[in-house]
Amino acid sequence: MTLQSLRNAGLKSLAGMVLLGAVASVTQAGCMQPPSRTARLTEAAREMNLAARFGRMDLAAEHAASGAKGHFLRRRAQWGNDIRVVDVELSGLSLKDDTNAVVQVDVAWTRMDEGQLRTTRVGQQWQDREGAWRLVREKRIAGDFGLFGEAVEDVQTKPHGDVHFPTKVIR
C-alpha cells in the first residue's frame, strides 16, 4: 500500500463515519417524537380502567376531570364489595375533534353472591385538558344493568322439578 492509498482509505472511512453519524441523528430524532393524541388517550383510558378493575380507585380517579371525580367514585363504590370486575377491554375509540373523544369499554363482572358472568359496554367521554386526557362522563350503552349500582330486580329462579326420565328397576 502506498501512502496515497492509505490517505484515501482514511478519507473514505472518515466520510463514512460522518455519513453514519448523520443517518443516526436523523433516525434518533424520529424516535423522539411525542406520542400522538390518540396514543395519549388510549394510554389514559387503559390506565384508568385497569386501575379501577384492580381496585386502585385512587389511581383511577386521577384520570377523571375535577368535576367528575365524585361521581366516578360513587358509581364504583360497590366494586370489590358486592361486584367483582373480572376484565375490562377497550373496544372502541373515536375522536370527535381535537379535544373530545368517546371510548367504549367492555366490562365483564359478577355479583359476589352469584356466579353468573355479566357484561356491560360503557361509553366514556374524554376531553383533552391542557395536554392530559380526562374522563368527563360515562354511561352504560349496552349489556347488563347493575355495574354502577343501578337498581335491578332480583329475579330468583324457581326450582323446577326433576327433569330426568323415570327410573324403572328390572328384577
| pLDDT tens per residue across span 7-60 | 555 555 666 666 667 776 666 655 668 888 889 999 999 999 999 999 999 999
- Please check the confidence at residue 162 and state whether its pLDDT lies above 70: yes
Cα separation, 137 vs 53, in Å, equals 18
- pLDDT tens for 113-148 read 888 999 999 999 999 988 899 999 999 999 999 999
Regarding pTM above 0.75, the answer is: no
**Continuous H helices in the chain:** 3-31, 37-53, 57-61, 69-75
Domains of the chain: 37-143 (3.10.450.50)
pLDDT for res 150: 84
Q: Is 37 in a helix, a strand, or coil?
A: helix
pLDDT for res 9: 54
Listed residue (81, 133, 83) closest to 107, CA to CA: 83
Q: Helix and strand tally (H, E) in the chain?
A: 4, 4
